[in-house]
Structure 1
Amino acid sequence: RLYFGAPDPKGGAVEHGPRFFQQPTCHHAPEVIGGIGEARASALLKAFFAARP
């Protein structure tokens, strides 16, 4: 299983963009469970990148 908090429509590769695990060359097909604590995860990521110089 693959668990994640906040999706990334612009740079993600699991649910958006190349959708890595759906490629024919990918030999793994984990159950993807996203959005766990999405609001908090999103806020943490935004704060982290806003604080970078």
Structure 2
Amino acid sequence: AGAKGEPRLPNCDLYVTLEPCPMCATAISFARLRRVYFGAYDPKGGGVDHGPRVFESTSCHHRPEVYGGIGEVEAAKLLKDFFGSLR
């Protein structure tokens, strides 16, 4: 946002492998991102379709369009393989 000279990113989209956590979902709301696309759902730590469901809260400042489960199997495998290689 700072590089664009604006405090918010209303014309930007975010693409991530894993469902954003509650802290990231709140930052997404504050930044006013237009859309969020993610691959794998995160039942334990997610904050969009699981957990506190940040964008559904009455205190949420902005609700982006959310598209989850895109390439879910591949995204989950990518994450498992990566973290498995660290162990």
* Pairwise same-fold verdict (TM > 0.5): yes
- List 4+ stretches of structure 1 deviating above 4 A: none
Q: Secondary structure at the match of 1:4?
A: strand
Per the normalisation by structure 2, the TM-score is 0.57
Query: What residue in structure 2 maps to residue 46 of structure 1?
Result: 80
Structure 2: which 5+ residue stretches go unaligned? 1-34
The higher-RCO structure (CA 8 Å, 6+ apart) is: 1
Count of residues in correspondence between the two structures: 53
Identity among equivalent positions (%) equals 62
Per the normalisation by structure 1, the TM-score is 0.88
CA deviations on 1:1-53 (whole Å, 9 max, x unpaired) are: 11000000011000000101111111111111011111110000111121224
Structure 1: which 5+ residue stretches go unaligned? none
Query: What residue in structure 2 maps to residue 8 of structure 1?
Result: 42
